[in-house]
Structure 1
Amino acid sequence: MKKTATFFISFLLSIQFIAAQSVNSYSTAQAHSHNDYERSRPFEEAYEQQFGSVEADVFLVNDTLYVAHNLKDIRRERTFSALYLLPILQKVEQNGGRIYPQDNVPLQLLIDLKTEGEPTLAALVKVLEPHKKIFAPAGSVRIVVSGNVPDPSLFEQYPDFIYFDGRPENVYTPAQMAHVGLISQAFQKYSKWNGEGPILEKDKRKIRKMVNDVHDLGKKVRIWATPDNINSWKTMMALGVDYINTDKVQQLGDYLRTAPR
């Protein structure tokens, strides 16, 4: 009995140690600025925190890509080029070809297509093509297209600097998977937890299984619409979610840099 108890305690301690290591390994490089364009200073706020991922919703209107949450929110000066592409080009030039001064800190730009997929993506490719050397796989900025994405059978028709946002329930061929840059899903698929107190064990198991399955494919995970507080951030990190989704850029940045785990 004593040996069993000793083994059980050792097992618990090892699990806690692994969880602690997982949480401690996170930095702002694993932070995702959800609907980044709604910030008072789009791109710049997340960039100053050295976030690893930012998200922009785009609409194609009269051959121009605009950044907005809804069509009614479109403003003439709020184009994709003005709010994201030009600032990114400026940072890359300042940093000698890298998005961040450090060699090993990339940036994921998640572009959510809100208007019809094919023409919107064609317009996006046209805007990005002249600068493809700064985009992955050649450069340090990875473009991941979400929203109205084409059928996976069409992925190979697009330039190699265009990656797509996949879903964990979808089955991709190896060739299609090479064009998947990220796997995302809604939190509500796994849990109704509001971020207060502990998440249910059965919900944790569902999330952990999804994360492990995606990691086995060599891809990273984002879960959107998660509760947005410290308790939730810690929970997602302990479960191995690669990008921590937030609307609180400053708060999450401060937490990841300074808060005890």
Structure 2
Amino acid sequence: MKTLLLCFLLPCLHVYAQPAVYTTANAHSHNDYQQSAPFYSAYNLQYGSIEVDVYLSLNDNELYVAHTIKDVAQNRTFENLYLSPLADIIQKNGGYVYADTTRKLILMLDVKTEAITTINKLIDLFMKYPAVTKCPSLTILVTGSKPHHTTYGSYPSFLWFDGLLSANYSKEALSRIALLGENFINYSKWNGHEPLPENDWEKLKKAVDKGHALGKEIRLWNTPDFIEGWKKLIELGVDYINTDSIKALAEFLKKNGVRQS
């Protein structure tokens, strides 16, 4: 009877399975706008996640790709650098981000200015691009400056948020959270040049397993950004490997074809 009950319940459990094979679909281009060809460099490597800082200038009510107000002077708008190229590509691919319709992309918007006004401006801008907001293989995700998680349900369904592994969320909030993450240094000071302390490993694994048990994908940031660090993230079962070295990580994943045991 117990065995029969367990077999009945197992399909109901909402547990996320970590990747069996790691490719650039599991790669996250951190601060992508600093690449030699923003958006295109990571996109051409078929990255699964691209992150861009978004700054709302109150002087001209324009959204810029910028980390601080000093960067606004470069006059790089979010629409020109990311949104318009993405819309063109989706149209070219018949409504999908990649020609391979099984490939997905997270467009992570790291909001650097006040949350509500910036997000409202983002919504107005995205509404001009229905092909983008309706793309089934694209996740538009807000990180950085965000409204309180109890208000996530009031935002358009095409807009998602990320959350912290260390936080607890209601069922309603979790339904609008697409990704859970954490600052790696909150768990470990490991720099990748010596063995990772066992206690740190246990804390990290517990956090990752918690996120997966909630049915969410996982990203850690401030991780050692070279081969030893990437290997450890794969061992942990982290879904998106954070990097500023997008070509090096792509080569690593291509050569290793790393599989989980």
TM-score class normalised by the smaller sequence: 0.7 to 0.9
Query: Cα distance, 1:76 vs. partner?
Result: 5.1
Query: Cα distance, 1:222 vs. partner?
Result: 0.6
Q: 1:209 maps to which residue?
A: 206
- 1:1-261 equivalences under 5 Å are 25-61=21-57, 62-75=60-73, 77-135=75-133, 139-259=136-256, 261=258
Alpha-carbon deviations, 1:53-111, whole Å to 9, x = none? 01011110121100012211123541100111011111111111110011111100110
Asked if structure 2 preserves the Cα contact closer than 8 Å seen for 1:135 and 1:161, the reply is yes
SS at match of 2:73: coil
How many residue pairs get matched? Answer: 239
Alpha-carbon deviations, 1:159-195, whole Å to 9, x = none? 0011011011222111111110111110111100011
Query: Cα distance, 1:44 vs. partner?
Result: 0.4
SS at match of 1:130: coil
Q: Which amino acid aligns with 2:80?
A: A
Query: Cα distance, 1:134 vs. partner?
Result: 3.1
Q: 1:8 maps to which residue?
A: none
Query: How many percent identity over aligned positions?
Result: 41
Query: Cα distance, 1:129 vs. partner?
Result: 1.8
Asked if structure 2 preserves the Cα contact closer than 8 Å seen for 1:23 and 1:234, the reply is no
Query: Cα distance, 1:23 vs. partner?
Result: 7.8
TM-score, length-normalised on structure 2? Answer: 0.88
TM-score, length-normalised on structure 1? Answer: 0.88
SS at match of 2:127: helix
SS at match of 1:221: strand
CA distance change for structure 1 residues 115 and 140 in 2, over 3 Å: closer, same or farther?
same
Q: 1:19 maps to which residue?
A: none
SS at match of 2:237: coil
Query: Cα distance, 1:39 vs. partner?
Result: 0.8
Asked if structure 2 preserves the Cα contact closer than 8 Å seen for 1:109 and 1:141, the reply is yes
Alpha-carbon deviations, 1:105-142, whole Å to 9, x = none? 11001101101111000000111123244336x52110
Asked if structure 2 preserves the Cα contact closer than 8 Å seen for 1:58 and 1:112, the reply is yes
Query: Cα distance, 1:24 vs. partner?
Result: 6.2
User: Which sits farther off after the overlay, 251-260 or 47-56?
Assistant: 251-260
Query: Cα distance, 1:201 vs. partner?
Result: 1.3
Q: Which amino acid aligns with 2:221?
A: W
Q: Which amino acid aligns with 1:176?
A: A
Higher relative contact order (CA 8 A, sep 6+): 2
Q: Which amino acid aligns with 1:55?
A: E
Structure 1 moving runs of 4+ over 6 Å? none
Gaps of 5+ in 2: 1-17
Gaps of 5+ in 1: 1-21
SS at match of 1:32: strand
Query: Cα distance, 1:260 vs. partner?
Result: 6.1
SS at match of 1:241: coil
Q: CA RMSD in A?
A: 1.5
CA distance in structure 2 between the partners assigned to 1:90 and 1:260 by the alignment = 31
CA distance in structure 1 between the partners assigned to 2:94 and 2:257 by the alignment = 34
